[in-house]
Structures are given as structure tokens and as C-alpha cells.
Structure 1
């Protein structure tokens, strides 16, 4: 591994060997070095290496040979010195000449400058700045390490988002609780949702029909006044159009399978089983792209728990009373007579409890081999005859033609068989009854589907039940929920808008540069054996990294045509929401027929698809990335995050394959213990997972820092005055931008024992990259850190 982050590193060749390849090092030249000094130093070493006891003059041919050898060494030293000088000269242009940087005055840079000014500067507050921990619980509260919260599931500080988006650009956002860091960069999903919000609230290009429909849907979702005024009437009207129900006393005894098909086709409601589309993982390895209808157990409304002794699910006894109360409240809001509501609620809970018995958690179904069980629709019909499977599936995927020989994949066949038996029993038992528990069960599931479009009385009832179950997540602000609902139906519109606003050239530049630097990093590792190294390198070399953009729709006219039959009103959110459910079904139908993987607009991390390494457009958004930012800022934030994503995706178990992971992890941790004056105590050792995460994030910073100068100097050819922010040199801007990365929302935070910003201290320990020392001026004893 390199002692310091390297720039312009040549590709290293792999020499086959039975032993691990020695670690390769390439040290950047120190500031005092120049070609002349290097040449003199080489000459001095050569002269001092001559044996002192030689007194006899060597033969003439030996003198000539030594002269030629000396001349060769001198030329090589001069060339190496010139290269080092060139590297240092280029680096100094971006690092040490702060007075010569050109300020970026674009709106994006002004906003970024305001955010940086609200945060502590790591180079002026090095002591307190870096000593916070991230998600690890290795340091106790009284050990001196100032923790940000344990970062483990269930911890109170991790139940909510820890940062708030500023209301508008130029306005200060909420300060960090510690009072030292100012506003941190949000997690990437929050950044994406906020960006989609801005697109939906903008008034640009009013003539585009599909875009205006998406915006009208979003604004009708925000119009809570109209939703409150409508109350429960829209749902009651819908129920009457479906034939009524026994709760209201007006029910025309509709056929069970006919009602179920209607709920599946028009309202995306699946009371007795879940339905979605996906590939068979057993075929993916063979390169098959065929998608199948997949049938799973439903998301039951009644709270259940898994009994590991009986290997069965059961209703939670302690939550039955709150659940009963919520069901009664729903029926009261729908105008059901109190005299009969208890009967309907009782039978609903009884039927729900019976269905719950056969449901099983995913880990149990996986160990029992119950996932991806293949069978034809005809075979499914014989196993679960109470459901008219062909009619229901044809309704859900209308107008696609399905036949009985089409194959489906089941994920809990035991539940499907038992569910059919239970429904058949209840239908027969209440064949002549006016209560119809099965019909009531379906309509209460429909109510749950349409809950987001109903007034606050329904949502408050749902929230109270959630709190009684121990859930503390409040679901976020209204705008965020409206963005997510809009994406469900108008994903193609938002994808097209996002594609228009994405800086493709700049995004591809970061992708290609980071991936190239990542491959160089692989060659620096001390691999346990060459077989592992060659396997990883073959896999990496075969990958094609690129920006993930959708290929199915390319023009505004095509999008307008796709949504031509959708009618969206600005004040009728319930009717708009019903249309959204229909759009959602059409989206599921398209998944079954299309071969290409449609871009997921809500994706914020790269993934593998065949031989392609795809990077979603949602990664390349402000404030994490902007084409008008200086490259130092883009690489300091998004370059680091991209490199970290690649390392996690492609090297999930690198700890067992490389000694470097352990060595670097321990080295960085020693830095931290020394800086926090805990070195030598021996109680703060890292686990293998923690060492790997420290190595991943430290390596990601090195990868981004290594390829940033190359990108920066390349940009000088196109724009001789590459800009900076707040008068910072480019390297300092890189590191300062990186210091804003927030670990609170990192999915791997529980394995990270320190905050990523501390890695700057390690990078700067023995390097001339940093503009100032990060030693703490108020500490009596200064430490000499080793290079990791």
C-alpha cells in the first residue's frame, strides 16, 4: 500500500508467483526535493559506497565501465528527479498557491461556500474536530471519546434523520447538536428526494403534458385542506361502486374471486398474497434475463410474531387490544353502526389470526428451501383451488395474455396451500350469512391501500397503532411522502427530468477515474495468494462502468403519449391516487415484458448487472455533486462515496484475502487511540469487520485523492483557470469538502469506530499534501505518527 495517496500512478503489471507479491510503494517527493538535489544525493551515495581500502588503480577498462555505470545512474537519477519535480510542481499549483486560485462565483459555488462557512475548518480546529466516533460502541460514554450515537438498530439517536435540509439555498440549516460541525451533508437518499421535490415544485417548461400531470398529482397530495374537507366520502363512494359491503348494510353479494380480481387490477390491493415481478436467481448465473410472476405471503394487517419453538407465527397478544381499537375506529369513521361493528371486527381478527399461522419470516423460508419454487399456473390451481389463479393473474397483468402453462415462482407454498384451505372454509361457513367476513377482510385491506389518500383521522389512527407497536418513526414530512407517491406512478416522467438535469460528461469522468484508481489500489494489496488476486482482477477487468440511464423512452412526445389517458385534478387527491394505483399496476406489467433493466430513479448506490457496473443518476446531484463545482469539491465528496461503494460492492470479504486490510485498519486505529490519548490501554481492539470498514473508508479517500489531481490537471487544459471556493487551495478544498461527509446515515456505520473526517489526520500525518499540520497546539506531548 502506498505510504501517501499517489497521483498519476502507472499501471503495475502482475508477476505470476507462488508467493504473495510484495507491497508496492511510491512516495511523493518531499517539498525540499528537486532534480538537482536528487542528483547530488545520488552522486554522494555512489562515492560513499566505494571501499576505502582500495589503493591500487584499477585497469583502464574497469575505469571506463565504472564511468559508463556512473553516467547511467546519473541520467536515471536526473530523469526520476525531473518526474518528481514535475509531480510536485503540478501538485503545488493546486495546493500551495492559495493566493492564485480563481474564486468560483456561480450560484452553485456560492451556495457551497455558504455551507462550508457554517462548518468548522478541520485545519483550524484539528483537536476537537476529529475526535467524534461514528457508529461503533467500542468507546464507552465515559472513556473520553465523544460519541454521536451507537449507530446500531434500536438506538434512540438513530430512529430519525440526524440532519435537516436547509429550507432554501442561502438560509442556514439546523446546527449539529455538538455545536462544532455546523450543517453536515445529508445522506444520499435525502439529497435525492429533496432534488425531486425541487423538480416537482419548479415552474419551468409549463407546456409538457406528462410533466404537468406529475406536478399536479404532487400538489394535490400536498393539498391537505381539500383532503380533510373530503373526509371518508370518496372511499365510501368507491365501496358502493364495488357492490357495497355488509358493514354498511348494503351489499349485493358480489362473487369472491370477481371482487379479488377487481382489487388486484384497479387498486393494486392483494389481501391474501403478494404479487410482484422478478428474475429467478438460479437463472441469473446462466445469463437468463426472463422475468416471472412471483407470489409471496401477504403483508398481514394484524401484528404477528414468530415462535421459534413451534416454528409458527402467531398474533401478538399484547397488541391485540390496540389493533382491535384501531379496527373499531376505522369502522366508526366509515359510518358503521356501533351495534354491529364489534361482530365485523371480531371475525376480521379471527380470519387474520388463522392466516398468520402459516406465514413465516424470510430467514426461515430460506433455510427450508421455500423460496423460488417453480410451478405452472395449472399446478398452482390444483394446490390452492379457492383462488381462481388464472383469472386473478390475467386481471393483474391485463391486457397480457396468460395461459395455464405459464410458470410462476412461489416463496411460501405452505402458506398458499393453507390460505386456500382457510378461505374455502370461511366462504362455506358464511355462505348464507349476511356478515361475509371474507368480503369485509378484502375491503379493510383496500382501506389500508388507500389510507395515504384519506383525511388525518385515518392516518392518526394508523399512527397511534404504530406507536402502540413500539414504532417511533413518524414517516417524515408531508412533502417527502408526496414525492415518493408521485414516483410510484410517474417514475418515467421523473426519470426523464432527472436525465435532462444530470451532467453526464462530468459524471462519467468521475466514474471512469475512480474505477481506474480502484484497479490500481488492488495491485497495491498484499494478497494471501495469487489465485485470489487473479480471480478478483479478472472479474474487475471484465466490468464496464457507466452511468445508469434508461433506454426505453427517449423523447418528451413518447412520455406524453404514455400518460395521455391519465387525468389528474389539482384538488381531488383521492381520485388522483386511485389513478396512481392503476399506473402502478401498468408499471408491474411492463416489468414482465421488458428485457432491459429500467433505471430506478430512487437508487443511490451502484450495482452489478451482468458485466456492467451501473451508477444511478441519483448519485450525481447537488449538494454532493454539481458540474459547476470545482473538481476538488466533487472528488472530495462524491469521489470518496463512489470509491467506498465500489469497494463494498466488489470486495465484500476482502479481509480474508489481503493482509493489508488488517495492517491498515490497525494503523489508522493506532492513530486514533494516540490522538485521543488512549494508546497502550489495550482495551480498544477492533473486530475484523471494523478493521475492514476502516480500511475501506481510508482506501476510498486515497482512491479519490489519487485520481483528483489527474482530473484537475486535465481540466486545466480545457479551462486554464479551474476555480476554487472561499480562497482555499484545491487540495485543501478537497479535504475540507470530504470532512463534511456524514457517517450517521452510512449503512455500514455500525462497523466504523471513528468518524470519516479523522482519516484526514492519518493522510496528513507524514505527507506534504496538507496545507497545515493537524497536530493539536494545546497538547503538551506531540506524537510522531507512522504512515498507513
Structure 2
């Protein structure tokens, strides 16, 4: 039996190696010198096999992995569940007003995974959704005091700013101010209230303030008008109302902090109390607002972390000068904006038209894909429980844990080599990395049906009421927040669904998290050569570790508290070395566009890319030394293990994106484009230049390199 099992494993390994080799060779453009442009060498043929699909703005390796994951999740959601499917009777409407009640309470201890399947099914019932049309949202808008944009019956005397703002927050909407309950960044063991500036209806403030973006403002206004018309706009002032609304949001954008102004969190963080906040900003009824959104009378001495003092002063002045009709229109527009995707095909078509103008997406994604995403977004832990029970390989967790341990050791070794760091700062850095909390795969409670059902006990899902199902989830989220008040932080918990293709570092918890969804090719496969695993998931792990020591992560200590633990001399050297990267990436311009990468807002991710690559290679090099007889070749590829390491790293970033989304990301994203994530990190790598014998001062081996970690 052992021999047969061993033979099967060998055959499976060969099959996976052949497949990996075939894919890697397909993407490569071997006519390009790897020392001239390694991205083009590794990914040059990718564009010959793939176009950006009409329903996407971006198509890359990450998106392909997500597509494979979504197919698996679809199968799980469409599998049988214990309840009998319902017919399409929609006569028994919910009382939507219940969702606005401060004392909203539901108890349904039924199976959480069944709820996820039912949620998905409610999303897929397009016939029922179309039959209900705009009615659910229209009724809810009436209950929220009426949207002046669509009704002539609204009166100024009906305006109740604080009531409306708090009700929208109960439905998990952050409008005008962002507010949440989270660990205090100076005492990460305790939950406190946090408040920050708003998000906007367009990707960032520049969309409103830069005159070159007039086409996006025009598309935004058209979008608002189309939604108002679908909701039965009956006013003669709709166009005027929309103009006033957008002008208000433009003024709002002008008082928000820019990314550069928010670069140093210590400069915007202000710890205060509810009472002091009320004294500083008396025109805002903080006590009644917090009492409403937190579900109980708030202690005036309860701490509040404020990240937007200047913004709040200017916001209150702006509100004082603005017609209540405009404020009501704006608040409800921002709420409506997020609910349009829970309604019928007409609303979805309006969203698509707007997305085409904004991001270049030509058509909506397939309904099943949209509904899988909605289910994972709203009930990610329940869906994740299904995923890990059916598809997650426990060996992946132990293998990834071992790789992570090797990367941590590589970082510690690199740390000792840093002559620009003093001994005290090195010692504190070592303490921090030794205290990093590693989470791989999924939280254990997902395997306990009782605990999982308990998590979703305040969620009511009905098959014919997709709109209300989303509202139930939104109230579930706000109730979860309310429960944190007065509690100590349980740092062993994680809130990220496992079926996602991403990884995270939490500064406030000093925690690195690798969900089960990312542990698949090309990032990881248990039968891959280690070169591919270290060049894939290994670099991702190293990237997240390095976030603990990037421009923001370095401000937090080993317990996740904002604390100055660096010597002044080390801080000066850090600024000098990070400025090198800011300048380096700021010179990159994508072919065909005249917009450079923003080296400042991308610096944290660039630091993490460079550090992660270096750590992962050092860890792989150490593994090779410990396993001198390992076969690290792939059939059909005349490359060594170290060369395959760098090739797989680069091919993770193969992809294409539409011009519109590229322009948007260059203005808003903290990540550099994939091409420069490859070129930037590799051109700073002595290991890469050595492995590929790149001549000094060739494009991929400049004499002057930016090296931080």
C-alpha cells in the first residue's frame, strides 16, 4: 500500500510540474533580455493569450485565481440545503421601518451555512427582484424622511439631521464622518470609538477638484439622474438639486485631508472623550448620536480617537452654511448609491453605465459571479466554513507555517546586517517580529457549527427578499460593533473571510493573516518545487512581515500600540532610505500614459515588496542549503531553482487593465502597477542581478540601488 501511495504522489507531482512549466513558458517572451526588462521577459506573451474580458476593468493573475475560486464557491452555494426552496410569493413585504429601529433585534439560530445558501439564492432570483422593482428602496427612503430629489412633498420642517445620520450609520453607512469601534492605537487591548473624515462618491478628492476630471463629474451627475428617474422623480427641480448636491460634495472634497497630509498618523491622531469632543464641536450632538448608533446611553468620559479635527471644524461650518434640502439630498444619495446593486436590472444597468465611464468596464459580470461576491462580502465566514470543509488541505497550513517561520528567521538575519540601525532599535524590532501573531487558513470556530450559528443568530434571511437580506446583514454589522463597547480586545480573533485571494498585516494587532483562498497556484501548491512556493506565497508572506516595518508599521510596537521605539538616528536613516524608493518609483511612467506613479502614497507597499522579495529569497537560499539534493528544475525550462524563484515572483504580476482603471489607480491606489512592482523590486536586488548575471548598469542592475530592509 505504501508503494502505491508513493507512486500516486510521484505521478501527481510530475503532472503538476508539467502543468506549471507549460503555463510559465506560455507567458514568457524569451526574445527579451531578462537584464533589460524582466517584466517583459516573464510576462511579455501574457497579452497574446488574454484580453480584459468585457465584464472586467482588470484581468491579471489575481483575477484568474479569483475566478477559479468563485467557481468552487458557486458549486458550494448551489449544493442542497436543509430548507425547501420557496416560491416567488412577495405579497408579505417586510416592514422596512424595523431596520431603522435603534432596538432592532432578531433571533434566528438556524444553520449559518444554510443562510449563506439562501442569501445566494435570493440574489439569484432575478425574476422576483425585477417584480419588486424599486419598491423596497422607495419605501425605505420614505421611512428615512424622504429624498427631496424624487418627491415634491418633502418640507424643510421634516429635516432631522442627527436622526437621519445616526439611522444611516445603523445601516453601516459612513457619510460625512466615518465612525467605528476598534482597538485604541495607543492601547491596543481596549476598544474605543474612532472617527475620521468621510469617503466620497467618486474614488478620491481629486475627481472633484481637478478640472481635468470634468468628464467624470458629468458621468456622476448622469448616474444620479438615472437613479432618481428610476425611483420615480416627480420634481421640476431634479437637475437643480443634482447640481447643488455635487457642488456640496465638491466643497466637502476640498476640506478633506490629502494622502500626503495623512502620511504620518501621529500628526492626525487625537485622543479625547465624548464630553471633550462635544465641547470642541458644540454644533454636533455627539452624545445623542453615539447613544443612537451604539444602542445605549454613552458615558461622557468614554474615549474617542479623532483623526480629523481640522476636517470636523470645516465640516460643521460647511453644514451651517448649506441648505437643509441639499444636505438631505446628499445624505440619502450616498445611501441610495450603495443600495442600487440590491435592486432590479434597471438599476444594475445604470451602475454599469457609470462604471463604464469611470473604469472602462464594458458589461456587468455574470449574475452568478455577482451573487457569489455578494454572499462572500456579506456572509463570508459562513461561506468560508463551507469552503474549508470541502477544499482546504490541512497540509497547506502546516507547510505555509513552516515557510513563514523560515521567512521570519530570514528577516531577523537581515536585521542584524543593517549597519544603519542602532542596537536598541534592532532589539526592539526583534521583539516585534518574535511577537507577530500568525494566522493561516481560517479561524477555528468555522469548524464548530454551534459557534458559527451563534455568530449569525441576529441575521434573518428569506429567499424572496434580497434587498432586506442585505439590510439584515448591515444591522448585524452595526450590532457587532455595539457589542464591543466596554470590552477588551480579543487579539486571537480574526474577521477576514477565508475564501479570499489576499493577505493582510494588522498594525494594531501585530498580526499577519493568510486566508485559505490565496493558498493555490501560482502562489502555492504542495507539489510545486520550493522555488515556486517561495517565489509565490513566500514573497507574499515576506511582504506582509515587512509591513510591520514600513513607513506606517514602524510606528507601532510589538503589542500594536502607537509608540516611538526608534532612536532618532535610525529614524533619520529610515527617511533617507525610504525617500530613495519614493524618488525611484516616482520616475516610473506606464507606456502610453503620461501619469507617473505616486512614489509617496505607494511607498509602504513598495517597501514591503522589496523587503518581502529579499526575505523570501534568503529563506529559499537557506532551504536549498539544507536540501542540497532537491530537484528544483521544471521540465522544458532550462532554469535553475533560484531563476525559477524570480520568474514565479514576476509572473504573479502578469496582467492587463483598461486605460480608465489605470488612470484611476495611479491617482488613488497605494500599490504601484504590477509592471513596476516587478521591475522596482528586482532592480534593487543584488541576488537577482547575480542569479541572472546582469551587467552592472544594465536596466535591471543599476549601480545605485534603493535598499531599506
What interval of TM-score do these two structures reach, taking the shorter chain for normalisation? 0.5 to 0.7
- Paired with 1:522 and 1:425, the residues of 2 have a C-alpha distance of 55
SS in 2 for 1:604: coil
- Is the 1:512–1:545 contact (alpha carbons within 8 Å) kept by the matching residues of 2? no
Structure-1 residue corresponding to 2:172: 268
- Is 1:490 aligned with 2:379? yes
Equivalent residues of 1:232, 1:454 under 8 A apart: yes
Q: Distance in 1 between matches of 2:274 and 2:348?
A: 38
Cα separation, partners in 2 of 1:403 and 1:382, compared to 1, 3 Å: same
Displacement after TM superposition at 1:459 (Å): 4.2
- CA displacement at 1:556 relative to structure 2: 1.2
What residue is the counterpart of 2:201 in the other structure?
Answer: 301
Q: 1:217 aligns with which of 116, 119, 122?
A: 119
**2: CA distance, partners of 1:488 / 1:691:** 29
**Residue 633 to residue 533, structure 1, CA distance change in 2 (3 Å):** same
Q: How far apart are the structure 2 equivalents of 1:299 and 1:259? A: 18
The CA distance in 2 between the partners of 1:762 and 1:354, in whole Å, is: 50
Structure 1 residue matching 2:189: 3-state secondary structure: coil
Q: Is the 8 A contact 2:178 2:195 kept in 1?
A: yes
**Aligned residue number for residue 512 of structure 1:** 405
Unaligned runs of 5+ in 1: 1-99, 136-144, 150-161, 165-173, 178-184, 431-435, 666-688, 714-721, 767-773, 776-788
Q: How does 1:613-624 map to 2 (within 5 A)?
A: 614-618=512-516, 621-623=519-521, 624=523
Q: How many angstroms apart in 2 are the aligned matches of 1:568 and 1:238?
A: 18
Matches within 5 A, 1:301-320: 301=201, 305=205
Aligned to 1:405: 301
1:292 aligns with 2:188: no
In the alignment, is residue 439 of structure 1 matched against residue 328 of structure 2? yes
Q: d(CA) in 2 for partners of 1:751 and 1:477?
A: 28
Instruction: Give SS of 1:240's match.
Output: helix
Task: Report deviation, 1:352.
Answer: 3.8
Corresponding residue to 1:259 among 161, 164, 175: 164
* Cα distance change, pair 472–655 in 1 and its aligned pair in 2 (3 A): farther
Q: Is the 8 A contact 1:488 1:580 kept in 2?
A: no
1:441–1:559 distance in 2 versus 1, CA, 3 Å: same
Native 8 Å contact 1:502 1:620 kept in 2: no
The answer to whether residue 75 in structure 2 is matched with residue 201 in structure 1 is yes
Q: Secondary structure at the match of 1:291?
A: strand
Q: In the alignment, what sits opposite 2:151?
A: 248
CA distance change for structure 1 residues 413 and 204 in 2, over 3 Å: closer, same or farther?
same
Contact 1:374 1:407 in 2 (8 A): yes
Asked if structure 2 preserves the Cα contact closer than 8 Å seen for 1:735 and 1:760, the reply is no
- Listed one character per residue, the Cα deviations across residues 413-459 of structure 1 (whole Å, up to 9, x for unaligned) are 33334433444555xx76xxxxx444333322221121221334334
Question: Could you say what secondary structure the match of 1:248 adopts?
Answer: coil
Residue in structure 2 matched with residue 142 of structure 1 by the alignment: none
Mark the CA change 1:112 to 1:475 in structure 2 (over 3 Å): closer, same or farther: farther
SS in 1 for 2:181: strand
Judging changes above 3 Å, is the alpha-carbon distance between structure 1 residues 466 and 575 closer, same or farther for their aligned structure 2 residues?
Answer: same
Cross-structure match for 2:289: 392
Following superposition of structure 1 onto structure 2, how do residues 97-246 of structure 1 map, counting pairs within 5 Å? 104-106=10-12, 110=15, 113-120=18-25, 128=32, 130=34, 133=37, 175=49, 187=61, 191=65, 194-195=68-69, 198-202=72-76, 206=81, 209-224=111-126, 226-246=128-148
Corresponding residue for 1:770? none
Offset of 1:595 from its aligned partner? 0.5
Q: Distance in 2 between matches of 1:411 and 1:527?
A: 35
Q: 2:619 aligns with which of 700, 703, 708?
A: 703
Q: Which position in structure 2 is the counterpart of 1:743?
A: 653
Aligned residues: CA RMSD:
5.3
Match of 1:604 in 2: 502
- Compared CA separation, residues 242 and 608, structure 1 to 2 (3 A): closer
CA drift of 1:621 comes to: 1.4
Going from structure 1 to structure 2, the CA distance change for 1:422 and 1:126 (only over 3 Å counts) comes to: closer
Q: Which residue of 2 aligns with 1:26?
A: none
User: Helix, strand or coil for the counterpart of 1:697?
Assistant: helix
1:104 match: secondary structure: helix
Please state how far the C-alpha of 1:493 moved relative to its aligned partner. Answer: 2.4
1:747-781 Cα deviation digits (max 9, x unpaired): 58536437969999866679xxxxxxx99xxxxxx
Q: 1:384 to 1:519 in 2, by over 3 A?
A: closer
The aligned counterpart of 2:470 is 577
8 Å CA contact 2:122, 2:464 repeated in 1? yes
Once the two structures are TM-superposed, the CA of residue 558 in structure 1 deviates from its matched residue by 1.4
Equivalent residue number for residue 595 of structure 1: 489
C-alpha distance in 1 between matches for 2:458 and 2:369: 26
**C-alpha distance in structure 1 between counterparts of 2:343 and 2:480, whole Å:** 24
Structure possessing the higher radius of gyration over alpha carbons:
1
| 1:566 has 2:462 as partner | no
- Does residue 379 of the first structure (1) align with residue 268 of the second (2)? no
Task: Give aligned pairs, total.
Answer: 578
Partner SS, residue 268 of structure 2: coil
How far apart are the structure 2 equivalents of 1:279 and 1:293? 9
- With over 3 angstroms needed to count, the CA separation of the structure-2 counterparts of 1:114 and 1:441, relative to structure 1, is same
Secondary structure of the structure 1 residue equivalent to 2:439 = strand
Q: Tell me, in whole angstroms, the C-alpha distance in 2 between the residues paired with 1:232 and 1:409.
A: 39
Matched residues in 1 for 2:64 and 2:115: separation?
24
TM-score (norm 1): 0.59
For the 8 Å contact 1:378–1:404, the answer to whether it is kept is yes
1:268/1:314 Cα in 2 relative to 1: closer, same or farther (>3 Å)? farther
Q: Distance in 2 between matches of 1:221 and 1:249?
A: 33
For the residues of structure 2 that align with 1:263 and 1:329, how far apart are their CA atoms?
Answer: 22
SS at match of 2:277: helix
Change (3 A) 1:589 1:128: same
Tell me the CA shift for residue 255 of structure 1. Answer: 3.9
Distance 2:508 2:201 in 1: 38
Q: After alignment, is 585-594 or 730-739 more displaced?
A: 730-739
Asked if 2 retains the 8 angstrom alpha-carbon contact of 1:294 and 1:410, the reply is yes
